[in-house]
Each structure stands twice: as structure tokens, then as C-alpha cells.
Amino acid sequence: MVNGNATTDTDLLNLLANSGPLTISDIGRHFSVTRTAVHERLLRLMAEGLVDRELLRGGRGRPSYRYLLSLKARKLAGNNFADLAAVLWQAVLGIDDARRRQRVIRKIAGALKALYADAIYGTTLKTRMESLCQVLQERQVRCDVDTHGGVPTFILRDCPYLDLAEVDCTVCEMETTLFSQLLGDEVVLSQCRLDGHACCQFDPKRKRTTRKDLLTV
């Protein structure tokens, strides 16, 4: 059993994946947390499209519900096919026509953007980076936002595509394109783990500081 204070979104999603539809009371008992805490987390996961609920029939009074993984969450959980991803990426790299290969890579970045875009929010680059950080952290990818010097920088401490990057660094270009699209601001890979650095760092292409960003740092 997971201690309530250490419960994460991943813990709850894993519980729903393993145990099927559950009520708020079921979840609260499992994690030893209050109904309010469970309800707030479920509402957020429902807003992200990761959890659905179904009405329990029968009985009088207020309606009651059971909660279950959404189709989107099940697809995400089933997408951890590292071997298949490596083979498919090799096929992309095997496209002889460089322009056609780049079009395919941009389409891959666009498809990934569509998967994550709903979770990215904010009116400044800093807040958008922070929301991207939250998305990746929920997938067990360590990252953070550095605002030293007044310009937000995205720091990626774990590579989500490490197996692919070790085959060919083109996947780093795809990742840079993806982050630029998600953030709505072009970023560049200023340092990379493949070059011996401790982490990957993504800087705004034009290192500018707006008054709005300064106020939110």
C-alpha cells in the first residue's frame, strides 16, 4: 500500500489499471487518504483526459460513480515498445531522400504534439515550460526549469528517447522540434547528454527577456 502523502498521479493510474473501475471510497481506503483528496486528484486527471467515470445504477439519493482509465491513458500505457520504436526509427533514418525524411520527422513531432498539447498552458514561456515539465515528470522523466539570468531554460535530466538517441542523434532534432511546437517558442539544444554533459538543455533561440517573463521569474 502507498502512503497517502507519497501518492502520485502515476500511483492512482496504476491502481485503476490493475484493479479496474473503483469508487472514491475504494481509492481512499487503498491509499489511506480522504475522499476530498481523492476527488480533487480525479477531477484533475479527468480534465487531462486520463480518467473516465461511469454512473453506478440503483439506489436512492445522490448519484455515485466508479472511475476507470480512459482510452487515452490506456494508449499511453501501451506505448512502451522500445524495440519496436527503435526499428521504426531506423526505418525513418533509412529514407534516402533527405527532404522526405525531414517531412516524416516533422510529422512525428506533430503527432506527439497533439498527444501532449492539451496539458500545456500559460501565457509566458516560463509557465509553458513548467507545464511541459509536469507532463514529463508524470512519465517519470526528471526535468526542471532554470530561470537564472532572467531567461527561462528547460533542463532535461533524463532522455525520454535514450535508446533511439544512442542509435542516431536525429531523434534529438525531433525532440527539439517537438518542444518548440509545444512551447510556442523556438528553442535550441544548447547542450546534450550525448556530448558528455550532465543533462540536455534547451534555450530560447532568441535569448530575449520580456517584461512579462521578468515579472513571473
Query: In Å, what is the CA distance from 31 to each residue of 2, 25, 37, 43, 65?
Result: 6, 10, 10, 17, 18
Q: Which CATH fold would you assign to the domain 4-76?
A: Arc Repressor Mutant, subunit A (1.10.10)
Whether residue 21 contacts residue 66, with contact meaning beta carbons closer than 8 Å, is answered with: yes
Radius of gyration of the chain (CA): 20
pLDDT at residue 79, as a whole number:
53
For residue 165, pLDDT over 90 is answered with no
How far apart CA 15 and CA 8 sit, in angstroms, is: 11
For residue 212, pLDDT over 80 is answered with no
In the chain, residues under CATH classification 1.10.10.10 are: 4-76
Tens digits of residue pLDDT in 47-96: 988 899 999 876 666 788 999 988 888 766 655 566 777 788 888 889 99
Q: Which CATH fold would you assign to the domain 81-216?
A: Muramoyl-pentapeptide Carboxypeptidase; domain 2 (3.30.1380)
| Residue reference for cell 436512492 | 60
For residue 7, pLDDT over 80 is answered with no
For residue 3, pLDDT over 50 is answered with no
Torsion of Cα atoms, 6 then 10 then 12 then 15, to 10°: -110
The model's pTM: 0.58
- Residues 4-33: what's their mean pLDDT? 83
Grid cell in block for residue 72:
487515452
